[in-house]
Amino acid sequence: MKFRKIIVTSIVVIFFLNLLGGCTHNKGNLKSKGETKSTNLKGNIEISVSNDKFGEFLKDTIIPDFKKKNPSVTVSLSDDKDIDNRVASGKVPDIYIGNNVYEAMNYGEMNKLADFQKIKGFESDLYKKISNEFIVKKQKSNEIYCIPWVVTTQLMVYNKALFREAGLDENKPPNTFDDLLKCARKIYNLPNRADGSKVYGISVLNGNNSNPISNWERLSPFYYNINDKKYGLYNNTGTDIVFDKPQAKLLELFVFISKVQNFAPANFKNSSWQNTGMWLQYGDEQNKDQTDIGIAKIPVESKNSISYSTLKEKDIMIFKTNTKQQGLAWNFVKYMMDEQENLKACKELNELPVLSKLKKNDYFNKGINKKYMQQLNNAIPIEPYPSIEKVTQSLQQTYMDYSVNRTLTPQAAIKSAADKSRDVIKVK
């Protein structure tokens, strides 16, 4: 489901001087609000980012305001679609703003990214400001290849009007898997709309989605809610997969999702929020045009269990280039991560904060924002291993072979996915 809208607010600027390659990097160089221009930063930097609301916000807000303070710095934007090819060719941007930590770990292992911990001023200027749960370090060596800009998580959204029409209590959304299936069935059995469109009980991602990571983001809450977060896809070191263990309950997930899909559209083009009863939705997908919509925790297998969801974040990486470029990039990152600049980004992009002080801001502790903020405590990030794309792809394909193509039993599908995954990560 795609429900996004941008809300505009105000800004305040922070600026540090940098001592890398002719730029000063001294600690404690916070400029006063009365100062408007830097006299030392000069040069050009390139930022690669998705061509969506994030790219638009950078282009329309952050970059123009940064340039007001740093008129001698030119900042250009490029689309991130060819980032892998650029990394392979060595023609990298100065800053890359990506969607997954595993990208940073992959590029870091290729020795392409700067370790934030080696950047002068990171420890004092930024590291202590970011909530620890959002910082991911490389195992054993502890490099930090990316820092989160903003985050969000999921809750279950439901159509109150369809609940009422199906004879369901709009104030009591399902909180268990069994209840979810019962509600989905009743809504699915409602008559077609006046324009002939079908009503669906629930919407979940399926094999038609070309991005296995996105698919897993939507399904993983059910996986963690089935096994009480005791198992992910990998072991704790990323050296083997564990989803084939009976205790991980991936078999139960496959069976449950196949039941859910009985009441879901086969193609998302056939559904909209008006004719769908329930779906999982990230906080940044809130749409003010939606009316009569409720928000609840994602259902769990057993009543009173903790409800887990997926953590989604926008991650900032600085590529290794040269001392001057990395210095300029670091100054831009610091500007993005200033508390008031970050608050403005969260408000305009409908995201949640990673800075400790902002988490206490009133804006995030009322209404719908408060529900999503509370869910952050039980939001699980996608595992940060470079092989995650291929592992989730194998899961997606073998699930389709079981649920849609009917060529595999669920047991055989899990074994096939496990074998393919171990081959990818070269487990002997």
**Cα radius of gyration rounded to whole Å, the chain:** 23
Q: How many Cβ atoms sit within 10 Å of the Cβ of residue 181?
A: 19
Q: Is the pLDDT of residue 116 over 60?
A: yes
Dihedral, CA of residue 427, residue 420, residue 243 and residue 396, to nearest 10: 150
Look at 4-13, 44-53, 219-228, 364-373 and tell me which has the smallest mean pLDDT: 4-13
Under DSSP, the state recorded for 190 is S
Q: How far apart are CA 99 and CA 313, in angstroms?
A: 6
Q: Which residue carries 């809750």 as its tokens?
A: 155
- In tens, the pLDDT along 396-410 reads 999 999 988 899 999
Q: How far apart are CA 399 and CA 413, in angstroms?
A: 6
Q: Is the pLDDT of residue 88 over 90?
A: yes
Q: How many Cβ atoms sit within 10 Å of the Cβ of residue 364?
A: 19
Kindly state the helix (H) or strand (E) to which residue 160 belongs, with its residue range: helix 160-165
In the predicted model, what is the mean pLDDT of the chain?
A: 88
- In tens, the pLDDT along 124-141 reads 889 999 999 999 999 888
Q: Give the DSSP per-residue string, 196-222.
A: SPPPBS-B---TT-S-HHHHHHHHHHH
- Give the mean pLDDT of 214-234: 95
- Give the mean pLDDT of 366-390: 95
Q: Is the pLDDT of residue 101 over 80?
A: yes
Q: Is the pLDDT of residue 269 over 70?
A: no
What domains can you pick out in the chain, each with its CATH number?
43-152+312-381 (3.40.190.10), 153-310+384-424 (3.40.190.10)
Helix locations, 71-144, DSSP H: 83-89, 101-109, 122-125
Output 131 or 268, whichever has higher pLDDT. Answer: 131
Q: Does the global pTM surpass 0.95?
A: no
Q: How far apart are CA 391 and CA 395, in angstroms?
A: 6
Under DSSP, the state recorded for 61 is I
